[in-house]
Structure formats: structure tokens, C-alpha cells
Structure 1
Amino acid sequence: MELIIKEYELQLKHTFTISRESIDIQPSLIVQLKSGGCSGYGEATSNPYYNISVSMMKQDLEAIRTLIESAEDETPEEFWAKVYPYLKQDMFALCALDMAYTDLYARKKGQKLHELWDYNIEKNPLTNYTIGIDSIDKMVDKMKELPWPIYKIKLGTSEDIAIVKALREHTDAVFRIDANCGWGIEETLNNAVELKKLGVEFLEQPLKADDWKGHEIIFKHSVLPVIADESCIVEQDVSKCYNHFHGVNIKLVKCGGLTPARRMIQQAKKLGLKTMVGCMTESSVGISAIAHLLPELDYVDMDGALLLSEDIANGVQIENGIIGYSNLNGTGVVLK
């Protein structure tokens, strides 16, 4: 098996702002694994919040190139277990590698990934489309630019309720709110009351990731369901979220790929937690991998590639929240 590492700078259509940062360009690392006339692709993007850079991921993968290239017939689960000890300090790199290997494995089997997993795709959830923080007028303009059935609205400003009221004047779409750790306890409880009146479905990560006492208070008293994001990173975090959140948003890059994400989804279901998978700002390489998990999810946020001015790959198609799969096997990705 041959390991090929590619680096990209993904240009966004608009400056993308959340409660802690703004970006115009998103550095991304693509892993390509070649074997038996097939290629599998995986992706992970840089992330300053988690101290991850493309150069770091590349260095960590190069350090185990021989181990990676010696793999051939292992299942994705066996391969993940083999490389995990060497990449457990860099789950982003592990994600790109696991995604590429899982994609390659399915292609060599002549199956789409959801077929390999024996998932029924008939009742897949719709993806939301994200509106980043901006002036109220610009947020309204961004929403009007792309009519959509579900919007995720980034908040964490002094005008949060005014923003949602202004957006609501222009659409009947479902709203989801993501504060990215930007609120306090009382602020969350008060905002939840107002936001419920405005047709908000749930709140995502209102408090800081490690404020477990605060999360417990919110869980008990919020009039809206609350979904964990920054508080749910790896497999061990799912059980911590029980009785602190109503559901978990699993990010492939944070947990180390598709293989552990599938385990996290099953663990969440056993605990009665709602299941969601989210994306970073990434290309159709990462987004197409998420698409094959849809039958297992209650909610999904896989709009990352829609936020780019130019995609680097072809894969799943998304129209009005509905995901259409590629005719290709594996994740269905091909680099442009």
C-alpha cells in the first residue's frame, strides 16, 4: 500500500466567524492510500482550538509511513487499532488515515461504505446549513443567498436574540443554535426561553467544554435540548455526557475517524442520547465520509464543502439539505 499526503488551502466564500475566531482560508491535509488499483481518501483540517496544524499531521504520519504502507488485508477496525498507539496524540491525523483506509477497504470490496456497513439509507436526516457570526444584515443576506430547510446559526454575541429574531422574519426553516462555548449558565437558560419561541430545535455547546456542573444545571432546567460538541471529543467522553446533555455531536477529526465514530454512535444510542455528526470547514473528501453514517444519526451538520468558494473533490451532492451519493464505491470521492 502506498501513502500519499497532499496539502491544500481551502478558500471560503465568506469570512466564517464563530464565538472564538474568524477564518477566510482553511488549511487541509488529504491522505490518499493506493493499493490494488484502487485509491482511498481521507481528510483532516488544521484547528488552532485543538492545537492542530497541517505540518504537525504530516510529520506524525510520515513518522509511521513504513507501518502504514505494510498494511494490506486488515479490516478498518484492525488497522485503526494498529496505528492508534502511534497517533493517539494526533487524532486529526488518525482521522484522515482511518477515513482513507476505510474508503480503500470498501472500494476493494466493490461496495459503497454504507453498503459495507449494511445501513439502510432510505430515511437519512437532512443536513443543516451554517450561518456564521456577522452583522445582522449580513447574516440575513447569507441566509437569503441559500434558502434551506434547516439552519445552524452561530451565536455568542451581545445581540444573539436580535439576530435570531431578524433571521426568523425571513424564513420558516428550522433553526439550530451553536454558541461554541460562548454563554454562561443564566444566559443559556434565559436565551433558551426566548429561542424556543423563535422555533429553535436545540442548543449546541452553550458553556465551556469543562463546565460539567454548569452543563448539569442546563440539562435539568433548559426548555430546549442541549447537544454536546466541545465536551464530546473522544470515545470516553460519551458516557460523561449522560445526564449532562441530551445528545452528542461527534466530529470525525476529533475522535480519530469513522471507526471510533461508529462506536461512539452506538454507545450514545445505548445511553438514550441523540446522535449527531458534525463537520469542520472541509472539502467533499471529509463530507462524503460523513454521509455514509447518516442512517445512524438523528441530526447531521455536513455543510462544510458548501461554504467553500471552490471544492477540491467530487463526492456526495447536497441539495436543499438532501444528500445524494456518488455512483463510485467507498465514500465516492475523487480529487479534482
Structure 2
Amino acid sequence: MQLRLKKYTLALKHTFSISRESHDFQDTLIVSLSLNGQTGYGEATSNPYYGITVESMINEIKAITTEIETFDFTIPETFHRFLVQKGLTNFTICALDLASHDLYGKLLGKPLYEIWGTTLDHYPTTNYTIGLADTPTMVAKMEERPWPIYKIKLGTENDLPIIRELRKHTQAIFRIDANCAWSAKETIANAPELKDLGVEFLEQPLKADDWEGMEKVAHDCILPVIADESCIVESDVEKCALYFNGINIKLTKCGGLTPALRMIKEAKSLGLQVMVGCMTESTVGISAIAQLAPQLDYVDMDGAMLLKEDIAEGIHIHEDGTLEYPALGGSGITLK
């Protein structure tokens, strides 16, 4: 296989803020793997919370470039196993795994969802994320992008007043993501009014390791709660089943599509609802997520919608939330 790496700095349409950070740009690594006239593309973004930079990912890959290029590629699963054995971080593995899946599907001439035995008869509508800001700015963002489902980032002393005000401007479904900023007491107390205000579920209200608090929430919270920061890798799924109603899988955090498929299967066997989320990726990463959509209860794949300018073509999200899948195999990605 021929390997190529390229760093992009993606400019966001608006400052994106959550409870612990804000940014106007998102660095991302695009990996391409070429074989027999086909090229697959993968992506992983940098993330300060997990200590990941594009440079750190590039250095990891460069250290094993010869081994990657001489690897006898047949299926993505064996390539993923090789990457894990090399001790790469999950973000780096993700970029390479996504590229190998896109390549594999293009070599077969089939989209991944079809290879996995699913159809496009049913898939969830992605939410559109409203980052934390002053309330008028959050209202303006909603009015700029009318959408049927909004994920609202919270984690302030005025969270309930924010949702009361946003509700005056839309009848859309709300999902709340506090990004670990609430206590168990706050979560349980906020939930009844949030439910009345049309909130569907809460995502990761408590710190990732506050299992004692999550046990209280599991027993007393009137709204479903979805794990995000508490569910990073495959081994987290079983534990999360004791405390959460569902999990949000991030491809970058778990190491790509290969482990995500296993996590989806395990979560369903444990009665958990399944969501896949994004990390402000371009259409490269979002197109990979879209291949999983038929298997999901919820999806957060609005990353490319938050960018000033995209770098790729692949999955297209229409204004009504429906998805238009590309004719190409794999994840259907081409770089602009």
C-alpha cells in the first residue's frame, strides 16, 4: 500500500465552546492508503482533552511507515490488529482504520453499510450542535440552521434559563450535553423541567469517573442518560450498562470502525441504546460514521456542517436531515 499523510486546519463557522474549552479552528490528520488503483481516506482530529496533536499522530505513523506500506492488506480487521500490536494511540489507529475500510469497500465496489449486511431503509437523523455561548448567540445559531434535533452544550450556572429561552424559538427535539460539568444532585434536579421542555436525553452530565454519582443518577434521573467520556473503548461498554441507558461511541476514541462495530453489537446485547458521535471532523470522518447509521438509535454527525469550508466529498446531509450516500464503494470519500 502507498501511504500519504496531510495535516489540515479546519476553520469553524462559529466559535465552538463546551464546558471545558473553546476553539475557532480544528486541526485534523487525513490519511490515504492506495492499492490496486484505489485510494481510501481516513481522519482523526487533534484533541487537547486526550493529549492528541496531529504532529503526535504523524510521528507515530512515520515510525512504522515501511511496515504499513509492505503490509499484506486483505481485510480491515487484520490491519487493525496489526496497528494495535504496534502500540499506536487510538486516534492514530482510527485514521488508518477508516482509510483501510474506505479502501476495502472501493476495492470491492460496495459501500461499507452493504458489506456489513445493512440497508438504508431506516437510519436516525443527525442532531445539529449548538455550542455554549451567551443565550442570544445560541438562539441566533438555531435560527441560522433550522433543524429537527439540536444537541445543546451546557455547563453553566444558568443552564435551565438557557433551555427555557431556546425553547421559545423552536419546536425541535433537544438533547443536552453537559460535558461532565454537573453533579449528580444537579442532574437529578434539572431533569424534570428539562423533560417538560422537550429534552430527549442527557449526555455525560457527570465527570467520567464519578461512578458513585452515576449510580444515583441511574436510580433517580427521570431522563435517559447517555455515556460519552465514560465510554471510550470496548472494555467500557459492559460497565456503562450498569449506569447508563446508552453509549455514545466516538471513532477517534475507540480506534476506528473495527472496534466500533464490536461495541455496537455488545451494547445492543446489553440492552443499551447506541449513538455514534463526531469530533468536528470533515466529511472524511463523517462519511465513515454515516456507514454505521443504519445500526444506530441516535447519531451526531454534524461535524462538517460546522465548518466554514469542507475538504472532501462523500456523504451529503440534506436540509431535512436525510442522507445522500455516494455512489463510490467504501465510505465513498474523495478529497477536493
Does the TM-score normalized on the shorter chain lie above 0.5?
Answer: yes
Report the secondary structure of 1:87's partner residue.
coil
Distance (whole Å) between structure 1 residues aligned to residue 137 and residue 168 of structure 2: 14
Contact 1:87/1:94 (8 A) holds in 2 = no
Report the secondary structure of 2:86's partner residue.
helix
In structure 1, what is the equivalent of residue 172 of structure 2? 173
In structure 1, what is the equivalent of residue 35 of structure 2? 35
Distance (whole Å) between structure 2 residues aligned to residue 149 and residue 190 of structure 1: 26
In structure 2, what is the equivalent of residue 303 of structure 1? 302
| CA deviation string 1:259-306 (max 9, x = no partner) | 000000000000000000000011000000000001110000000000
1:73 aligns with 2:73: yes
Distance (whole Å) between structure 2 residues aligned to residue 334 and residue 322 of structure 1: 20
1:118 aligns with 2:94: no
Q: Any residues of structure 2 matched to 1:191-230 within 5 Å, and which?
A: 191-230=190-229
Contact 2:33/2:41 (8 A) holds in 1 = yes
Deviation at 1:334, TM superposition (A): 0.5
Report the secondary structure of 1:196's partner residue.
helix
Q: Any residues of structure 2 matched to 1:175-324 within 5 Å, and which?
A: 175-319=174-318, 320-324=320-324
In structure 2, what is the equivalent of residue 6 of structure 1? 6
| CA deviation string 1:31-70 (max 9, x = no partner) | 0001111000000000000000000000001111122111
TM-score by length of 2: 0.98
Segments of 4+ moved more than 2 angstroms? 71-74
Report the secondary structure of 1:292's partner residue.
helix
Deviation at 1:133, TM superposition (A): 0.4
Contact 1:174/1:200 (8 A) holds in 2 = yes
Report the secondary structure of 2:27's partner residue.
strand
1:62 aligns with 2:33: no
Contact 1:46/1:53 (8 A) holds in 2 = yes
In structure 1, what is the equivalent of residue 327 of structure 2? 327
AA of the residue aligned to 2:44: A
**What stretches of structure 2 of length at least 5 have no aligned partner?**
none
| CA deviation string 1:312-334 (max 9, x = no partner) | 10111112222211111111111
Contact 2:313/2:335 (8 A) holds in 1 = yes
TM-score by length of 1: 0.98
| CA deviation string 1:206-250 (max 9, x = no partner) | 000000111111011100000000000000000110120000000
Identity of aligned residues (%): 59
Distance (whole Å) between structure 2 residues aligned to residue 296 and residue 96 of structure 1: 21
Matched residues, number? 335
Deviation at 1:74, TM superposition (A): 2.4
| CA deviation string 1:178-225 (max 9, x = no partner) | 000010111111111110010000000000000011111101110000
- Superposed CA RMSD: 0.8
Distance (whole Å) between structure 2 residues aligned to residue 70 and residue 158 of structure 1: 55
Contact 2:109/2:328 (8 A) holds in 1 = no
